[in-house]
């Protein structure tokens, strides 16, 4: 893992993909700690978080997390999910954010030295190749330690560096509530909520 102190760093987080990878490894992410880690690596220019939202629900379990991220250093990129019926007549919900993420990476590339992509989606291989041609270094954060692995082999090969999420976990995992001297549970997460409310 190579970062330089003078580097301008951008984080691009595929919310559902990162949530699935962390869940497969058995931990929740503390997004305040995640920002702190990458601020130590270089000059953090922007941290984007991408997720689709179910608009017609009275209460969305991901809404508190989205609101917290929006107020605490993240640039939120959201869009409504689309509902459709598949060939078998089953109702499905679709919320792919790949295009939004790809456009933002391309637009931000001129202002960055290092892109950190939190996704294992092989569809991003061409995106990574394109911004590498612009002189931007790319680190992909995902996991090969889940079963099956969460990162596509072609994306891992294309990246300048692959960062194993499990090795990053001690620095970014949510510390679960601890008991104070009176036996009361104290929430350790900045929102007081579990990140498992993310959209899978």
CATH assignment of the domain containing 13:
3.40.50.1010
Residue 86 lies in a domain: yes
Question: How far, in Å, CA of 92 to CA of 37, rounded?
Answer: 37
Burial 85-102 (b: 16+ CB within 10 A, else e): eeeeeeeeeebbbeeebb
Residue 114 binned pLDDT confidence (cut-offs 50, 70, 90):
very high
Question: How far, in Å, CA of 84 to CA of 50, rounded?
Answer: 21
Residue 109 lies in a domain: yes
Is the CA virtual torsion 104, 137, 9, 51 positive or negative?
A: positive
Give residue 193's pLDDT: 41
Tell me what the mean pLDDT of segment 28-49 comes to.
Answer: 96
From the list 170, 157, 187, 143, the residue with the least C-alpha distance to 27 is: 170
pTM: 0.83
DSSP state of 177: P
Tell me the pLDDT of the chain averaged across its residues.
86
Calculate the alpha carbon distances from 70 to 9, 140, 194 in Å.
19, 23, 16
Residue 172 lies in a domain: yes
Residue 71 binned pLDDT confidence (cut-offs 50, 70, 90):
very high
Residue 161 lies in a domain: yes
Residue 146 lies in a domain: yes
Question: How far, in Å, CA of 20 to CA of 76, rounded?
Answer: 19
Tell me what the mean pLDDT of segment 88-117 comes to.
Answer: 89
Q: Which residue has the higher pLDDT, 87 or 76?
A: 76
Residue 1 lies in a domain: no
Residue 186 binned pLDDT confidence (cut-offs 50, 70, 90):
very low
Residue 182 lies in a domain: yes
Give residue 119's pLDDT: 97
Contacts of 37 (CB under 8 A, 6+ apart): 168, 171, 172
Domain coverage including residue 68? 8-197
Give residue 190's pLDDT: 44
Calculate the alpha carbon distances from 63 to 21, 31, 69, 185, 198 in Å.
20, 15, 10, 24, 9
- How many whole angstroms from its chain centre is CA 115? 13
Tell me what the mean pLDDT of segment 169-195 comes to.
Answer: 58
Structure tokens at 129: 């190749």
Residue 133 lies in a domain: yes
Q: Domain count of the chain?
A: 1
């Amino acid at each position: 893992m190579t970062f330089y102190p003078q580097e301008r760093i951008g984080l691009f987080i595929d919310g559902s993909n990162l949530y699935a990878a962390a869940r497969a490894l058995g931990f929740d992410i503390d997004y305040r700690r995640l920002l702190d880690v990458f601020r130590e690596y270089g000059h953090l220019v922007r941290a984007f978080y991408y997720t689709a939202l179910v608009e017609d629900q009275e209460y969305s379990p991901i809404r508190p997390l989205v609101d917290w991220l929006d107020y605490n250093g993240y640039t939120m990129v959201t869009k409504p999910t689309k509902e459709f019926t598949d060939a078998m007549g089953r109702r499905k919900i679709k919320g792919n954010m790949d295009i939004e993420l790809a456009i933002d990476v391309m637009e931000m590339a001129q202002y960055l030295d290092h892109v950190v992509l939190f996704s294992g989606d092989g569809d991003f291989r061409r995106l990574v190749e394109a911004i590498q041609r612009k002189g931007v270094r790319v680190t992909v954060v995902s996991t090969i330690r889940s079963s099956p692995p969460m990162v596509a082999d072609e994306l891992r090969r294309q990246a300048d560096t692959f960062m194993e999420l499990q090795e990053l976990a001690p620095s970014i995992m949510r510390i679960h509530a601890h008991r104070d001297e009176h036996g009361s549970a104290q929430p350790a997460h900045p929102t007081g909520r579990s990140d498992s409310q993310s959209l899978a």
